[in-house]
Chains A and B, each alone.
Chain A
Amino acid sequence: DAIPGLKTSPFSTTDALTSWGDVTSYNNYYEFGTDKSDPAQNAGAFKARPWSITVAGECEAPGTIDLEDLLKPVALEERIYRMRCVEAWSMVIPWDGISLAEVLKRFKPTSKAKYVRFVGLKDADRMPGQRWPVLDWPYQEGLRIDEAMHPLAFLAVGVYSRWLPNQNGAPLRLVVPWKYGFKGIKGIVRIEFTEKQPPTSWNDSAPDEYGFFANVNPAVDHPRWSQASERRIASDRSVFNARIATLPFNGYAEQVASLYSGMDLSRFY
Protein backbone atom coordinates (compact mmCIF):
# COMPACT_ATOMS: atom_id res chain seq x y z
CA ASP A 1 0.00 0.00 0.00
CA ALA A 2 1.26 3.40 -1.02
CA ILE A 3 2.17 6.07 1.52
CA PRO A 4 -0.39 8.88 1.10
CA GLY A 5 0.34 12.57 0.67
CA LEU A 6 4.07 12.57 0.03
CA LYS A 7 5.68 15.98 -0.49
CA THR A 8 8.41 16.38 -3.06
CA SER A 9 11.74 17.92 -2.11
CA PRO A 10 14.11 20.41 -3.73
CA PHE A 11 16.94 18.19 -2.45
CA SER A 12 15.97 15.37 -4.80
CA THR A 13 18.36 14.47 -7.59
CA THR A 14 17.26 14.00 -11.19
CA ASP A 15 19.66 11.07 -11.73
CA ALA A 16 18.05 7.94 -13.15
CA LEU A 17 16.53 5.79 -10.38
CA THR A 18 17.85 2.37 -9.43
CA SER A 19 14.96 -0.07 -9.86
CA TRP A 20 12.71 -1.09 -6.96
CA GLY A 21 13.86 -4.67 -7.53
CA ASP A 22 17.55 -3.85 -7.11
CA VAL A 23 17.00 -1.45 -4.20
CA THR A 24 15.05 -4.10 -2.29
CA SER A 25 17.10 -7.19 -3.14
CA TYR A 26 20.72 -6.04 -3.21
CA ASN A 27 22.02 -4.36 -0.09
CA ASN A 28 24.07 -4.78 3.05
CA TYR A 29 22.23 -5.44 6.29
CA TYR A 30 24.49 -7.80 8.21
CA GLU A 31 21.77 -8.37 10.81
CA PHE A 32 20.21 -10.65 8.19
CA GLY A 33 23.39 -12.09 6.67
CA THR A 34 26.54 -10.83 5.02
CA ASP A 35 25.71 -11.57 1.40
CA LYS A 36 23.95 -8.77 -0.43
CA SER A 37 21.06 -11.08 -1.29
CA ASP A 38 20.70 -12.26 2.34
CA PRO A 39 18.61 -9.36 3.72
CA ALA A 40 15.86 -9.84 1.12
CA GLN A 41 15.95 -13.60 1.67
CA ASN A 42 16.06 -13.65 5.47
CA ALA A 43 14.10 -10.60 6.61
CA GLY A 44 10.65 -11.67 5.36
CA ALA A 45 9.36 -12.89 8.73
CA PHE A 46 10.66 -9.88 10.68
CA LYS A 47 7.91 -7.96 12.46
CA ALA A 48 8.59 -4.23 12.23
CA ARG A 49 5.37 -3.10 14.01
CA PRO A 50 4.67 -2.21 16.73
CA TRP A 51 7.93 -0.29 17.12
CA SER A 52 9.06 2.25 19.63
CA ILE A 53 12.12 4.45 19.82
CA THR A 54 13.81 5.58 23.01
CA VAL A 55 15.28 9.06 22.96
CA ALA A 56 17.74 9.77 25.75
CA GLY A 57 20.82 11.68 26.83
CA GLU A 58 21.48 15.41 26.71
CA CYS A 59 17.96 16.65 25.98
CA GLU A 60 15.07 18.23 27.88
CA ALA A 61 12.34 15.91 26.68
CA PRO A 62 13.65 12.34 26.69
CA GLY A 63 11.34 9.37 26.53
CA THR A 64 10.12 6.38 24.62
CA ILE A 65 7.83 7.08 21.73
CA ASP A 66 5.83 4.84 19.47
CA LEU A 67 6.78 5.13 15.80
CA GLU A 68 3.20 6.03 14.85
CA ASP A 69 3.29 8.93 17.31
CA LEU A 70 6.66 10.03 16.02
CA LEU A 71 5.25 10.26 12.49
CA LYS A 72 1.79 11.65 13.31
CA PRO A 73 2.61 15.38 13.46
CA VAL A 74 4.59 15.51 10.20
CA ALA A 75 3.93 15.31 6.50
CA LEU A 76 6.18 12.67 4.96
CA GLU A 77 8.25 13.69 1.99
CA GLU A 78 10.12 12.01 -0.81
CA ARG A 79 13.88 12.51 -1.15
CA ILE A 80 15.62 11.05 -4.18
CA TYR A 81 19.18 10.63 -3.02
CA ARG A 82 22.33 9.11 -4.38
CA MET A 83 23.60 6.31 -2.13
CA ARG A 84 27.31 5.55 -2.36
CA CYS A 85 28.39 2.33 -0.68
CA VAL A 86 31.90 2.20 0.77
CA GLU A 87 32.38 -0.88 -1.45
CA ALA A 88 32.41 1.44 -4.51
CA TRP A 89 28.94 0.80 -5.91
CA SER A 90 26.08 3.25 -5.84
CA MET A 91 22.34 3.59 -6.30
CA VAL A 92 19.76 6.35 -6.71
CA ILE A 93 16.93 5.76 -4.26
CA PRO A 94 13.60 7.55 -3.69
CA TRP A 95 13.32 7.50 0.11
CA ASP A 96 10.20 8.56 1.99
CA GLY A 97 10.40 9.99 5.47
CA ILE A 98 11.18 13.05 7.54
CA SER A 99 14.04 15.41 8.07
CA LEU A 100 16.17 14.18 10.96
CA ALA A 101 16.53 17.69 12.38
CA GLU A 102 12.75 18.06 12.58
CA VAL A 103 12.53 14.93 14.73
CA LEU A 104 15.53 15.72 16.92
CA LYS A 105 14.34 19.24 17.76
CA ARG A 106 11.19 17.83 19.29
CA PHE A 107 13.25 16.29 22.10
CA LYS A 108 14.93 19.63 22.86
CA PRO A 109 18.65 18.81 22.86
CA THR A 110 20.66 20.84 25.39
CA SER A 111 23.88 22.75 24.72
CA LYS A 112 25.76 19.67 25.93
CA ALA A 113 24.45 17.65 23.01
CA LYS A 114 27.50 17.60 20.73
CA TYR A 115 26.75 14.28 19.02
CA VAL A 116 23.82 12.04 18.24
CA ARG A 117 24.14 8.33 18.79
CA PHE A 118 21.91 5.82 17.00
CA VAL A 119 21.46 2.20 18.06
CA GLY A 120 19.87 -0.56 16.00
CA LEU A 121 17.80 -3.45 17.26
CA LYS A 122 19.65 -6.29 18.92
CA ASP A 123 17.56 -9.44 18.81
CA ALA A 124 19.27 -12.54 17.45
CA ASP A 125 15.95 -14.43 17.43
CA ARG A 126 14.50 -11.99 14.93
CA MET A 127 17.75 -11.08 13.18
CA PRO A 128 19.54 -14.34 12.30
CA GLY A 129 22.69 -12.58 11.15
CA GLN A 130 23.32 -11.50 14.73
CA ARG A 131 24.03 -15.11 15.70
CA TRP A 132 27.48 -14.52 14.23
CA PRO A 133 29.79 -11.95 15.82
CA VAL A 134 30.61 -10.43 12.43
CA LEU A 135 30.14 -7.04 14.12
CA ASP A 136 29.79 -6.19 17.79
CA TRP A 137 25.97 -6.12 18.00
CA PRO A 138 23.89 -4.00 18.18
CA TYR A 139 24.80 -1.88 15.17
CA GLN A 140 25.67 1.64 16.25
CA GLU A 141 26.13 4.85 14.36
CA GLY A 142 26.68 8.49 15.17
CA LEU A 143 26.71 11.99 13.77
CA ARG A 144 28.07 15.27 15.00
CA ILE A 145 25.12 17.45 16.06
CA ASP A 146 25.61 19.90 13.19
CA GLU A 147 25.61 17.01 10.72
CA ALA A 148 22.49 15.58 12.30
CA MET A 149 20.75 18.98 12.12
CA HIS A 150 21.67 19.47 8.45
CA PRO A 151 18.57 19.58 6.26
CA LEU A 152 19.88 16.76 4.04
CA ALA A 153 20.05 14.27 6.96
CA PHE A 154 16.94 12.14 6.74
CA LEU A 155 14.99 9.47 8.59
CA ALA A 156 13.37 7.09 6.12
CA VAL A 157 10.26 5.03 6.79
CA GLY A 158 9.56 4.22 3.18
CA VAL A 159 11.05 3.76 -0.26
CA TYR A 160 9.39 4.08 -3.67
CA SER A 161 6.29 5.46 -1.88
CA ARG A 162 5.85 2.23 0.07
CA TRP A 163 6.61 1.49 3.72
CA LEU A 164 10.17 0.23 4.07
CA PRO A 165 10.61 -3.45 3.32
CA ASN A 166 12.25 -5.26 6.24
CA GLN A 167 15.47 -5.78 4.28
CA ASN A 168 15.88 -2.03 3.83
CA GLY A 169 15.81 -1.28 7.54
CA ALA A 170 12.13 -1.25 8.50
CA PRO A 171 10.55 0.51 10.13
CA LEU A 172 13.00 3.37 10.58
CA ARG A 173 16.45 4.03 9.18
CA LEU A 174 18.90 6.85 8.79
CA VAL A 175 19.88 8.27 5.38
CA VAL A 176 22.88 10.60 5.19
CA PRO A 177 23.47 11.01 1.45
CA TRP A 178 26.90 12.65 1.58
CA LYS A 179 28.33 9.80 3.65
CA TYR A 180 29.06 6.17 2.82
CA GLY A 181 26.03 3.92 3.04
CA PHE A 182 27.09 2.19 6.25
CA LYS A 183 26.31 5.39 8.17
CA GLY A 184 22.65 4.75 7.32
CA ILE A 185 21.81 2.63 10.37
CA LYS A 186 18.71 0.44 10.00
CA GLY A 187 16.07 -0.71 12.45
CA ILE A 188 16.71 2.20 14.85
CA VAL A 189 15.48 1.65 18.43
CA ARG A 190 17.46 4.28 20.31
CA ILE A 191 18.58 7.85 19.69
CA GLU A 192 20.83 9.46 22.23
CA PHE A 193 22.29 12.95 22.52
CA THR A 194 25.86 12.73 23.81
CA GLU A 195 28.64 15.06 24.77
CA LYS A 196 31.37 12.74 23.51
CA GLN A 197 31.76 11.16 20.10
CA PRO A 198 29.85 7.86 20.26
CA PRO A 199 31.39 4.57 19.12
CA THR A 200 30.29 3.39 15.66
CA SER A 201 30.16 -0.22 14.49
CA TRP A 202 32.40 -0.25 11.41
CA ASN A 203 34.86 2.12 12.98
CA ASP A 204 35.12 -0.26 15.95
CA SER A 205 35.51 -3.23 13.63
CA ALA A 206 38.27 -1.77 11.42
CA PRO A 207 39.30 1.74 12.50
CA ASP A 208 41.95 2.09 9.76
CA GLU A 209 39.36 1.39 7.07
CA TYR A 210 36.17 3.06 8.30
CA GLY A 211 36.21 6.41 10.01
CA PHE A 212 33.62 8.11 12.20
CA PHE A 213 32.86 10.73 9.55
CA ALA A 214 32.82 8.42 6.51
CA ASN A 215 32.19 11.29 4.13
CA VAL A 216 32.23 10.16 0.49
CA ASN A 217 35.63 11.28 -0.72
CA PRO A 218 37.22 10.26 -4.03
CA ALA A 219 40.57 11.61 -2.84
CA VAL A 220 40.83 9.35 0.20
CA ASP A 221 41.09 5.67 -0.75
CA HIS A 222 39.93 2.80 1.32
CA PRO A 223 43.15 0.95 2.24
CA ARG A 224 42.09 -1.96 0.05
CA TRP A 225 40.42 -0.23 -2.87
CA SER A 226 40.16 3.09 -4.64
CA GLN A 227 37.24 5.40 -3.89
CA ALA A 228 37.82 7.51 -7.01
CA SER A 229 35.07 5.84 -9.04
CA GLU A 230 31.99 3.71 -8.56
CA ARG A 231 29.71 1.26 -10.33
CA ARG A 232 26.18 2.67 -10.51
CA ILE A 233 23.58 -0.08 -10.13
CA ALA A 234 21.61 0.41 -13.34
CA SER A 235 18.29 -1.10 -14.27
CA ASP A 236 19.52 -2.67 -17.53
CA ARG A 237 21.96 -4.83 -15.56
CA SER A 238 24.48 -4.71 -18.40
CA VAL A 239 28.08 -5.80 -17.85
CA PHE A 240 29.13 -3.00 -20.19
CA ASN A 241 28.00 -0.15 -17.93
CA ALA A 242 31.11 1.91 -17.33
CA ARG A 243 32.27 3.18 -13.97
CA ILE A 244 31.48 6.77 -13.13
CA ALA A 245 33.57 9.24 -11.17
CA THR A 246 32.81 9.53 -7.46
CA LEU A 247 32.12 13.12 -6.43
CA PRO A 248 33.28 14.80 -3.21
CA PHE A 249 30.56 14.40 -0.57
CA ASN A 250 28.74 12.22 -3.11
CA GLY A 251 27.79 15.31 -5.12
CA TYR A 252 26.41 17.20 -2.11
CA ALA A 253 29.55 19.30 -1.51
CA GLU A 254 27.74 22.56 -2.18
CA GLN A 255 25.37 21.89 0.72
CA VAL A 256 27.65 20.18 3.24
CA ALA A 257 31.30 21.01 2.61
CA SER A 258 31.14 23.97 4.99
CA LEU A 259 30.46 21.57 7.88
CA TYR A 260 34.05 20.43 7.55
CA SER A 261 35.90 23.62 6.76
CA GLY A 262 39.38 23.58 8.26
CA MET A 263 39.31 19.82 8.83
CA ASP A 264 41.93 17.51 7.35
CA LEU A 265 39.59 15.07 5.61
CA SER A 266 42.32 12.50 4.99
CA ARG A 267 42.82 12.32 8.74
CA PHE A 268 39.16 12.58 9.72
CA TYR A 269 37.95 10.14 7.05
Chain B
Amino acid sequence: MNATATKRWDRIAWSKWLLFPAALLPALLLLQGALQNTLGADPVKALTHATGLWALRFLLLSLAMTPFRLWTGWTGFIRYRRMLGLYAFFYACLHLLVYLVLDLGTYWADLLTDIQKRPYMTVGFGAWLIMLPLAITSTRGMIRRMGRHWQRLHRLVYVAGILAALHFLWLVKADLREPGIYAGILAVLLLARLWPKRRARGTGPVGAATTSRK
Protein backbone atom coordinates (compact mmCIF):
# COMPACT_ATOMS: atom_id res chain seq x y z
CA MET B 1 0.00 0.00 0.00
CA ASN B 2 1.47 3.39 -0.92
CA ALA B 3 1.34 6.39 1.36
CA THR B 4 -1.73 8.03 -0.19
CA ALA B 5 -3.74 4.84 -0.03
CA THR B 6 -2.86 4.31 3.61
CA LYS B 7 -3.91 7.85 4.40
CA ARG B 8 -7.20 7.38 2.65
CA TRP B 9 -7.77 4.13 4.51
CA ASP B 10 -7.24 5.97 7.77
CA ARG B 11 -9.71 8.61 6.83
CA ILE B 12 -12.47 6.09 6.28
CA ALA B 13 -13.78 5.35 9.73
CA TRP B 14 -14.40 1.72 10.58
CA SER B 15 -17.97 2.66 11.44
CA LYS B 16 -18.62 3.27 7.77
CA TRP B 17 -17.81 -0.35 7.14
CA LEU B 18 -20.59 -1.23 9.52
CA LEU B 19 -22.99 1.26 8.02
CA PHE B 20 -22.52 -0.03 4.49
CA PRO B 21 -23.90 -3.58 5.01
CA ALA B 22 -26.47 -2.33 7.53
CA ALA B 23 -27.92 0.02 4.95
CA LEU B 24 -27.92 -2.77 2.38
CA LEU B 25 -29.80 -5.13 4.69
CA PRO B 26 -33.36 -3.90 3.88
CA ALA B 27 -32.68 -4.50 0.18
CA LEU B 28 -31.35 -8.00 0.85
CA LEU B 29 -34.35 -8.88 3.01
CA LEU B 30 -36.71 -7.61 0.31
CA LEU B 31 -34.84 -9.63 -2.31
CA GLN B 32 -35.17 -12.72 -0.14
CA GLY B 33 -38.89 -12.04 0.33
CA ALA B 34 -39.34 -11.58 -3.40
CA LEU B 35 -37.56 -14.83 -4.23
CA GLN B 36 -39.40 -16.84 -1.57
CA ASN B 37 -42.82 -15.26 -2.22
CA THR B 38 -43.17 -14.08 1.37
CA LEU B 39 -43.98 -10.41 0.75
CA GLY B 40 -47.70 -10.78 1.45
CA ALA B 41 -50.90 -10.74 -0.57
CA ASP B 42 -49.81 -7.98 -2.94
CA PRO B 43 -46.03 -8.50 -3.13
CA VAL B 44 -45.34 -5.94 -5.85
CA LYS B 45 -47.15 -3.26 -3.87
CA ALA B 46 -45.20 -4.27 -0.76
CA LEU B 47 -41.92 -4.07 -2.67
CA THR B 48 -42.76 -0.69 -4.17
CA HIS B 49 -43.84 0.69 -0.83
CA ALA B 50 -40.82 -0.63 1.07
CA THR B 51 -38.21 0.57 -1.43
CA GLY B 52 -39.85 4.00 -1.55
CA LEU B 53 -39.95 4.20 2.23
CA TRP B 54 -36.26 3.26 2.53
CA ALA B 55 -35.33 5.85 -0.09
CA LEU B 56 -37.13 8.51 1.93
CA ARG B 57 -35.62 7.27 5.20
CA PHE B 58 -32.06 7.40 3.85
CA LEU B 59 -32.68 10.79 2.31
CA LEU B 60 -33.86 12.08 5.69
CA LEU B 61 -30.90 10.42 7.41
CA SER B 62 -28.45 12.09 5.04
CA LEU B 63 -30.20 15.38 5.66
CA ALA B 64 -29.96 14.77 9.41
CA MET B 65 -26.17 14.70 9.55
CA THR B 66 -25.69 18.47 9.44
CA PRO B 67 -28.32 19.19 12.13
CA PHE B 68 -26.85 16.37 14.27
CA ARG B 69 -23.46 18.06 13.95
CA LEU B 70 -24.94 21.41 14.89
CA TRP B 71 -26.83 19.99 17.85
CA THR B 72 -24.04 17.81 19.24
CA GLY B 73 -20.96 19.66 18.07
CA TRP B 74 -19.47 16.38 16.81
CA THR B 75 -18.25 16.94 13.27
CA GLY B 76 -17.88 13.18 12.64
CA PHE B 77 -21.49 12.94 11.45
CA ILE B 78 -20.55 14.53 8.15
CA ARG B 79 -18.49 11.56 7.01
CA TYR B 80 -21.66 9.41 6.76
CA ARG B 81 -23.53 11.92 4.69
CA ARG B 82 -22.43 10.82 1.23
CA MET B 83 -23.01 7.12 1.87
CA LEU B 84 -26.48 7.79 3.25
CA GLY B 85 -27.29 10.00 0.29
CA LEU B 86 -26.09 7.38 -2.16
CA TYR B 87 -28.17 4.75 -0.40
CA ALA B 88 -31.19 7.04 -0.72
CA PHE B 89 -30.53 7.16 -4.46
CA PHE B 90 -29.97 3.39 -4.57
CA TYR B 91 -33.36 2.71 -2.94
CA ALA B 92 -35.01 5.35 -5.14
CA CYS B 93 -33.65 3.50 -8.21
CA LEU B 94 -34.99 0.19 -6.86
CA HIS B 95 -38.33 1.89 -6.20
CA LEU B 96 -38.53 3.16 -9.78
CA LEU B 97 -37.37 -0.16 -11.23
CA VAL B 98 -39.86 -2.21 -9.23
CA TYR B 99 -42.64 0.10 -10.33
CA LEU B 100 -41.58 0.07 -13.95
CA VAL B 101 -40.64 -3.60 -14.42
CA LEU B 102 -42.62 -5.59 -11.85
CA ASP B 103 -45.70 -3.42 -11.39
CA LEU B 104 -46.34 -1.87 -14.79
CA GLY B 105 -44.64 -4.66 -16.73
CA THR B 106 -46.13 -4.74 -20.20
CA TYR B 107 -48.09 -1.62 -19.28
CA TRP B 108 -44.77 0.26 -18.94
CA ALA B 109 -45.89 2.89 -21.48
CA ASP B 110 -48.33 4.04 -18.79
CA LEU B 111 -45.34 5.55 -17.01
CA LEU B 112 -45.24 8.41 -19.49
CA THR B 113 -48.94 9.12 -19.00
CA ASP B 114 -48.54 8.74 -15.25
CA ILE B 115 -45.68 11.20 -15.03
CA GLN B 116 -47.53 13.65 -17.24
CA LYS B 117 -50.99 13.36 -15.78
CA ARG B 118 -50.51 12.57 -12.15
CA PRO B 119 -48.89 15.15 -9.89
CA TYR B 120 -47.79 12.66 -7.24
CA MET B 121 -45.93 10.68 -9.89
CA THR B 122 -44.48 13.84 -11.38
CA VAL B 123 -43.02 14.95 -8.07
CA GLY B 124 -41.76 11.45 -7.29
CA PHE B 125 -40.02 11.16 -10.61
CA GLY B 126 -38.75 14.72 -10.14
CA ALA B 127 -37.14 13.73 -6.85
CA TRP B 128 -35.36 10.81 -8.54
CA LEU B 129 -34.27 13.01 -11.43
CA ILE B 130 -32.75 15.56 -9.05
CA MET B 131 -30.89 12.85 -7.14
CA LEU B 132 -29.34 11.51 -10.34
CA PRO B 133 -26.77 14.31 -10.92
CA LEU B 134 -26.14 14.50 -7.19
CA ALA B 135 -25.18 10.83 -7.17
CA ILE B 136 -23.02 11.21 -10.28
CA THR B 137 -21.13 14.15 -8.81
CA SER B 138 -20.65 12.60 -5.41
CA THR B 139 -17.07 11.42 -6.05
CA ARG B 140 -14.06 13.10 -4.51
CA GLY B 141 -12.80 14.02 -7.96
CA MET B 142 -16.03 15.75 -8.90
CA ILE B 143 -16.11 17.66 -5.63
CA ARG B 144 -12.58 18.92 -6.35
CA ARG B 145 -13.29 19.72 -9.98
CA MET B 146 -16.56 21.55 -9.40
CA GLY B 147 -15.40 23.67 -6.51
CA ARG B 148 -18.05 25.98 -5.16
CA HIS B 149 -20.46 24.93 -7.91
CA TRP B 150 -20.57 21.53 -6.27
CA GLN B 151 -22.15 22.89 -3.13
CA ARG B 152 -24.61 24.97 -5.08
CA LEU B 153 -25.69 21.90 -7.06
CA HIS B 154 -25.96 19.71 -4.00
CA ARG B 155 -28.31 22.12 -2.26
CA LEU B 156 -30.87 20.61 -4.65
CA VAL B 157 -31.09 17.75 -2.17
CA TYR B 158 -33.48 19.95 -0.17
CA VAL B 159 -35.79 20.08 -3.18
CA ALA B 160 -35.49 16.31 -3.62
CA GLY B 161 -36.45 15.86 0.04
CA ILE B 162 -39.50 18.09 -0.29
CA LEU B 163 -40.62 16.37 -3.50
CA ALA B 164 -40.16 12.92 -1.96
CA ALA B 165 -42.22 13.85 1.10
CA LEU B 166 -44.88 15.37 -1.12
CA HIS B 167 -44.92 12.22 -3.30
CA PHE B 168 -45.73 10.13 -0.22
CA LEU B 169 -48.33 12.57 1.16
CA TRP B 170 -50.07 12.76 -2.18
CA LEU B 171 -50.46 9.07 -2.84
CA VAL B 172 -52.39 8.04 0.29
CA LYS B 173 -56.16 7.83 0.09
CA ALA B 174 -57.26 9.47 3.31
CA ASP B 175 -54.95 8.71 6.22
CA LEU B 176 -52.14 11.27 6.19
CA ARG B 177 -50.62 10.26 9.51
CA GLU B 178 -47.64 8.18 8.31
CA PRO B 179 -46.48 10.47 5.46
CA GLY B 180 -47.22 13.37 7.80
CA ILE B 181 -44.62 12.10 10.27
CA TYR B 182 -41.96 11.95 7.54
CA ALA B 183 -42.89 15.42 6.28
CA GLY B 184 -42.66 16.70 9.85
CA ILE B 185 -39.17 15.22 10.32
CA LEU B 186 -38.08 16.78 7.02
CA ALA B 187 -39.42 20.16 8.12
CA VAL B 188 -37.44 19.96 11.35
CA LEU B 189 -34.24 18.99 9.49
CA LEU B 190 -34.61 21.84 7.02
CA LEU B 191 -35.53 24.45 9.63
CA ALA B 192 -32.62 23.34 11.81
CA ARG B 193 -30.31 24.71 9.12
CA LEU B 194 -31.81 28.18 9.23
CA TRP B 195 -31.74 28.68 12.95
CA PRO B 196 -28.01 28.28 13.72
CA LYS B 197 -27.11 30.37 10.70
CA ARG B 198 -28.91 33.32 12.20
CA ARG B 199 -27.31 32.70 15.55
CA ALA B 200 -23.89 32.34 13.95
CA ARG B 201 -24.20 35.76 12.42
CA GLY B 202 -24.26 37.25 15.91
CA THR B 203 -21.51 35.18 17.50
CA GLY B 204 -19.08 34.78 14.65
CA PRO B 205 -18.52 31.87 12.27
CA VAL B 206 -19.38 28.38 13.35
CA GLY B 207 -16.42 26.06 12.75
CA ALA B 208 -16.32 24.41 9.32
CA ALA B 209 -19.78 25.72 8.52
CA THR B 210 -18.81 26.80 5.04
CA THR B 211 -17.44 23.43 3.99
CA SER B 212 -19.95 21.09 5.61
CA ARG B 213 -23.23 22.88 5.32
CA LYS B 214 -25.54 20.91 3.14
Q: Do A and B bind each other?
A: yes
A binding-site residues for B, Cβ under 8 Å: 21-22, 25-26, 30, 34, 36-37, 87, 89, 132, 134-135, 205-206, 221, 223-226, 228-229, 231, 233, 236-243
CB contact list, B88-119 vs A, under 8 A: 102-107, 110, 113-114, 117-119
Are A237 and B38 touching (Cβ within 8 A)?
yes
B37 touches A236 (CB 8 A): yes
Would you give the shortest CB distance from B53 to chain A, in whole angstroms? 13
12 contacts between A and B (CB under 8 A): A25-B41, A26-B41, A26-B42, A30-B174, A226-B110, A228-B110, A233-B41, A237-B38, A237-B40, A239-B34, A239-B43, A243-B104
Q: How large is the interface on B (under 10, 10 to 19, 20 to 34, 35 or more residues)?
A: 20 to 34
Given contacts A221-B117, A225-B118, A243-B105, contact A237 B39 (CB under 8 A): yes
Residues on the B chain within 8 Å of A25, using CB: 41
Would A243 and B107 count as touching, CB distance under 8 A?
Answer: yes
Decide if B174 touches A239 in the complex (CB within 8 Å).
no
The residue on A at minimum CB distance from B44 is: A239
Task: Say what secondary structure dominates the interface of chain A.
Answer: loop
Q: Does B150 contact A (CB under 8 A)?
A: no
Q: How far is the CA of A242 from the CA of B105 in the complex (A)?
A: 6
B174 touches A26 (CB 8 A): no
Say which residue of A134, A221, A231 sits within 8 Å of B45 (CB atoms): A231
CB A231 to nearest CB in B, in angstroms, measures 6
Q: Write the chain B residue with the least CB distance to A86.
A: B173
A251 to chain B, nearest CB (A): 18
CB distance from A243 to the nearest CB of B (A): 6
A206 to B197, CA, bound (A): 42
B107 CB to closest chain A CB (Å) equals: 5
Q: B171 near A: Cβ within 8 Å?
A: yes
10 A-B pairs closest in CB distance: A26-B41, A34-B175, A22-B41, A237-B37, A239-B34, A239-B43, A242-B105, A134-B174, A134-B175, A233-B41
CB distance from A108 to the nearest CB of B (A): 37
> Chain B 41-66 against A: per-residue CB contact (8 Å), 1 yes, 0 no?
11111010000000000000000000
Contacts of A26 in B (CB 8 A): 40-42
* Interface contact A228-B41, CB-CB below 8 Å: no
With both chains docked as a complex, state the minimum distance between the C-beta of B88 and any C-beta of chain A, in angstroms.
Answer: 23
Which residue in B34, B45, B113, B119 is a CB contact (below 8 Å) of A226? B113
Within 8 A of A (CB), among B173-189: 173-175, 177
